[in-house]
Structure 1
Amino acid sequence: MARRSHLTPVGWIAAEDLDEVGAGKIEGWLSDPSLLAAIQTPYLVIARRTIAIIVRWDDRRRDSVKIRPTLAPSEEITAVEWIPIGEILAVALGTSAGLLFLYSTDGDLILKQIVYTARLVRLRFREVESQSFGGDSSYDLCAVASGVIARFDGSDIKSFLQRWSGESRSLNDIDHTNSQMKIPYQLWNITKFGICADAAITGMMPPPLLELPSQERYYCAVAAGDDAVISAYRLSEDRRRSLVGAILSKVVPTAVSTLSSFSKVIWRREETSKPKIQPFAKASHLTCLKDHPRKGEKITLSPRGTLAAIADSLGRILLLDTQALVVVRLWKGYREASCLFMEAHVARDEGPSTSSNARQIKREKCLCLVIHAPKKGILEVWKMRTGPRLLTVKCPRGCKILQPPTRLDSPLEVFLWNGDSGQLSLLNTLIT
């Protein structure tokens, strides 16, 4: 009997389409940490430094689309993400100067907006269940900078993209200085325990004890960084500023104005408008986990945000219950590992059948954690929360696991991209 494969080839990406990001130049080129990639069927975007390339990997192949944002001399692309809302699909790029770019799949510029004057390290878009009685879903885009987290509401993004799509605006028609061509967002300071390497908003949470009833909404955010491996915060949507936010909102604009005036005198440059600094909303610290010299590096959220996998600098992966804020599981020996959640159909033995000697097999749908360990050259699937390891798949050097943004009406799938061969495979959700 032929051995069953747990990977199904679904597409192929030619190296010549990605030559400007280093494809095919050396074996294992995809392992370069400066390469950023994101997938959304049937597209894949890969970015490096000052260029992003969009390619199709299905049967309807077309020429690659190359995007070169207008960046400062030392500025580079530091984060990529897809934004699928309805029939509209856009790609988001974050830069080291704190800028957010939105582009269409044809490479048309949709938005250029400042988020914060710091390096954007992560963009995370997902669909979440609404806690209202209507049961409707909503979207949000989370942008993470060093010690700062921003949230763009999905309704604002949707209305902006629909307005852009209806007007069919081109790059020359967009006035990026117009405040109406910006997407509103909330910004919080989460530097209680130093600079964070990654952060995520897990979902809504109840208000603090003894809090008076109000219409304000509160969110839970988890962060991973150098001082604290894990830290958690309650984010308020109100506009009351924290002490740090109040100080920065006064000091930063004054410093920018002073430097601008000084530069104008020295270099006699024309006066240009400076980006307005977004004030901080209130963020309250909840708890943290310190374990020096361990440092938190990457955070992966489950579809509903109830679990988070945090990879640290010592090769450990912590599974955090984001509602109880308790670590419920720990894996060791996974240096430089990447994690993604997936839904799998796992075989369950129901005992012998009454009509034959064959055993009756039933399957249950369960949440699993996929761990890609490049140092070991394997990919593992673990059943949540405390279940066994269900699967181990060998994968060659230079592979990367990818997953589309979370959609409640779409299956939670994991793709494996072999950069050297160009093959894109789907990890089978049927596990025997």
Structure 2
Amino acid sequence: MARRGHHLTEVALLASASGCLAAAGAGEREGWLDDPAVLLSLGPRARDLAVASAARSVLGIVPVAGGGGVTVKPALGPDDGRISAVEWVPLDAEGAQGEEGMALVAGTDAGWLLFYSLAGDLLHKQSIYPAKILKLNFSERKENAWEDAGSDELSVVFPGVIARCDGADLQIMLQKSFQEVKSRMWKDKFEQEDGEDTSSFEKIPLQIWNVSKFSSCVDAAIVGLMPPPLLELQLLLYCWAVESAPLLCHYSWRGCCRLSI
């Protein structure tokens, strides 16, 4: 028989945040986790658990290490939709520890992204694309990875569209938002205004690919970006160099270069 003692600690710690889980529908009926309206996301190194209920418009943040959780009720209007995806975004900036070392992003079926701190503070809200967000995937790039020189990135998946947020842009925006939240004296008023007005938020730069002409999407993730093309002058110089030394170039490339000139 397999040993199960190592599971008892985790179960007990999650039970300490039962109020947070109950807000998402825990304990009301058997098999509540099988409800497609209940969304789960385990944070990096299994330190935090996010539980969202689309039907209740509730987002629960549960620290696996123990302690009470945080219940967030996003101020979603009729045009904002309901929660349809959740994902964790780790911060690797210097000095980012504790609550500032992690952020939680929720996507809605109307194409909105909402970023929250572990304390439940709204950090950012932005409309990405007017369609249901099916999945959020955050990819961390290892240092000195030979196969990819790109940065961390957040992939936002729609039925026929894939959007990409660069990790460096996310880091700058979230760190700035953390500082703004800490410096505000009227926190309750700030959160209420954020739920109604998004004009105060800066826009995160995005890259969007329309893939609907190939097929529909249910899940996707950006695995790397090709470097940008050479500038026109650089391309002409490269073509000239290839024409001057044809033995150093494959025949197909020679033909391509000749046509380019």
Whichever residue aligns with residue 188 of structure 1, its letter is: W
* Matched residue SS, 1:181: coil
Whether 1:70 aligns to 2:69 is no
Q: How far apart are residue 31 of structure 1 and its match? A: 1.1
Whichever residue aligns with residue 75 of structure 1, its letter is: G
Whether 1:97 aligns to 2:110 is yes
Whether 1:182 aligns to 2:187 is no
* Matched residue SS, 1:213: coil
* Matched residue SS, 2:174: helix
1:48 to 35, 42, 53: 53
Whether 1:83 aligns to 2:89 is yes
Q: Is the 8 A contact 1:130 1:137 kept in 2?
A: no
Q: How far apart are residue 70 of structure 1 and its match? A: 2.1
Q: Deviations 1:216-237 (Å, cap 9, x if unpaired)?
A: xxxxxxxxxxxxxxxxxxxxxx
Higher helix share: 2
| Structure 2 CA distance for partners of 1:35 and 1:83, relative to 1, 3 Å | same
Q: Residue 119 of structure 2 corresponds to which residue in structure 1?
A: 106
Whether 1:58 aligns to 2:70 is no
Q: Deviations 1:162-205 (Å, cap 9, x if unpaired)?
A: 11222335535766214x62211111101122322222212235
* Matched residue SS, 1:129: coil
Whether 1:20 aligns to 2:23 is yes
* Matched residue SS, 2:77: coil
Give structure 1 stretches of 5+ with no counterpart.
216-432
Q: Residue 264 of structure 1 corresponds to which residue in structure 2?
A: none
TM normalised by structure 1 equals: 0.43
Q: Deviations 1:3-48 (Å, cap 9, x if unpaired)?
A: 5538832512224432232211222211111110111242211111
Runs of 4+ aligned residues of structure 1 deviating over 4 Å after TM superposition are 130-133, 172-175
Whichever residue aligns with residue 182 of structure 1, its letter is: K
Q: Residue 230 of structure 2 corresponds to which residue in structure 1?
A: 213
Q: How far apart are residue 206 of structure 1 and its match? A: 7.2
Whichever residue aligns with residue 56 of structure 1, its letter is: P
Whichever residue aligns with residue 55 of structure 1, its letter is: V
Q: What is the rounded CA distance, in whole Å, between the counterparts of 2:135 and 2:77 in structure 1?
A: 18
Whichever residue aligns with residue 176 of structure 1, its letter is: T
| Structure 2 CA distance for partners of 1:67 and 1:193, relative to 1, 3 Å | same
| Structure 2 CA distance for partners of 1:33 and 1:7, relative to 1, 3 Å | farther
Q: What is the rounded CA distance, in whole Å, between the counterparts of 2:20 and 2:122 in structure 1?
A: 21
Q: What is the rounded CA distance, in whole Å, between the counterparts of 2:134 and 2:4 in structure 1?
A: 32
Q: Is the 8 A contact 2:106 2:113 kept in 1?
A: yes
Q: Residue 160 of structure 2 corresponds to which residue in structure 1?
A: 147
Q: Is the 8 A contact 1:94 1:100 kept in 2?
A: yes
Q: Deviations 1:357-380 (Å, cap 9, x if unpaired)?
A: xxxxxxxxxxxxxxxxxxxxxxxx
Q: Is the 8 A contact 1:65 1:105 kept in 2?
A: no
Give structure 2 stretches of 5+ with no counterpart.
233-261
Mapping of 1:224-303 within 5 angstroms?
none
Greater relative contact order: 1 or 2 (C-alpha under 8 angstroms, separation 6 or more)?
Answer: 1
| Structure 2 CA distance for partners of 1:4 and 1:18, relative to 1, 3 Å | closer
| Structure 2 CA distance for partners of 1:197 and 1:131, relative to 1, 3 Å | same
Q: Is the 8 A contact 1:80 1:91 kept in 2?
A: yes
Whichever residue aligns with residue 151 of structure 1, its letter is: R
Q: What is the rounded CA distance, in whole Å, between the counterparts of 1:64 and 1:202 in structure 2?
A: 33
Q: What is the rounded CA distance, in whole Å, between the counterparts of 2:179 and 2:74 in structure 1?
A: 25
TM normalised by structure 2 equals: 0.69
